[in-house]
Amino acid sequence: MASNRFAFFNGEFIPIEQAQVSVMTAALNYGLGVFEGIRAYWNADDDQLYVFHLREHMERLKRSSAIMFMDLPYSVDELCRLTVELLRREGFREDAYIRPLVFKSDHTIAVRLNGMTDAFALYAVPFGQYIPGTAVRACVSSWRRIEDNIMPSRAKVSGGYVNSALAKTEALLNGYDEAIVLGGDGQVSEASAANLYIVRNGALITPPITSDILEGITRRVVAQLAQAELHVPVVERPIDRTELYVAEEAFFCGTGAEVKPIIEIDRRPVGNGAVGPITARLVELYSAVVHGRLPAYRDWCTPVYTNEGV
């Protein structure tokens, strides 16, 4: 596996080992950053690297920045162009993960967002599975999801991932693969770094965007694919904890997680304990789409190695 060599930092492409910050950086001390997680998929048949939903991720980065009073001095178009330029420089011929990060770079003891300096960094690394295995066992976390009036849950804020890390660590140390986190209202919110769907009576159900979830791009992709390709209805509504125990199928979805079947929740098998039929079809469909193999969805994929502009 190749390693990464560059970062775009402080307005220029530089060797990754030179992209450094001080221990005094406000973002490091207080979690004052916003970021994105984007995947690029290698398609050997096309000899092409495709970035999935690049524009949508950069649009969310803009929204996260706005919520957090961060000044991102690049347009969505420019951010997309910089990403393609970075990946071309890296020359990856394998799957990769792209991380744009906007952060408060001041070296002052100041816990605030206004009147501070913002920095932007962008790097990419070769990347495989985020959650190992083809199907996973989950638990309901004892940690609650950050509520929108505590910290913006729909923005991808660095400090918010303390919550994710606590939930994930508890799950792993207790022998599970992933955590399902309930919201402040006690209803299902999402996983540590992925959204969640269950299947009941043949319909896909996912918590609404008012359930303190991150407004996941994969969550939306799944809804589109399920309706258009599988003719499965999709319902957004609150989900009770014990609905998890009687669901016919369940899966996580996210850029990192991709579509990840859940076969057990709190030691109860989901359905008959094997990957369900709708989930299995979504896993396949999602993989085909992100690799640019389905012409109908090819415009969701940005090719890196082309002379065309982006």
User: Is the Cβ of residue 200 or residue 220 nearer to ligand PMP in the bound state?
Assistant: 220
Please state the closest distance from residue 217 (CB atom) to ligand PMP, in A: 4
Of residues 158 and 164, the one with the C-beta less far from ligand PMP:
164
Q: Min. distance of Cβ 256 from ligand PMP in angstroms?
A: 6
Residue 71 burial class via C-beta count within 10 angstroms: exposed 0-12, middle 13-18, buried 19 and up: exposed
Tokens of residue 156, six digits: 């991808």
* Of 180, 248, 191, residue with least CA distance to 218: 191
| Of 64, 14, 4, 16, nearest in space to 37 by CA | 64
In the set 62, 156, 168, 260, the catalytic residue is: 156
Q: Minimum distance from CB of 303 to ligand PMP (Å)? A: 21
Question: Residue 4 has which token pair?
Answer: 């990464």
Angle in degrees, CA 124, 125, 129, rounded to 5: 125
> Where along the sequence are the contacts to ligand PMP (CB under 6 A)?
37, 164, 190, 193-195, 214, 216-219, 254-256
Nearest to 168 by CA among 237, 257, 246: 257
Q: Is 168 a catalytic residue?
A: no
Beta-carbon-side half-sphere exposure of residue 151 (alpha carbons within 13 Å): 19
> 104 or 145: whose CB is closer to ligand PMP?
145
Q: CA-to-CA distance for 13 and 290, rounded, in angstroms?
A: 27
Tell me how far, at minimum, the Cβ of 193 lies from ligand PMP, in Å: 4
Pick the closer one to ligand PMP by CB: 121 or 222: 222
Fill in the DSSP letter of residue 66.
Answer: H
Kindly list the catalytic residues.
Answer: 156
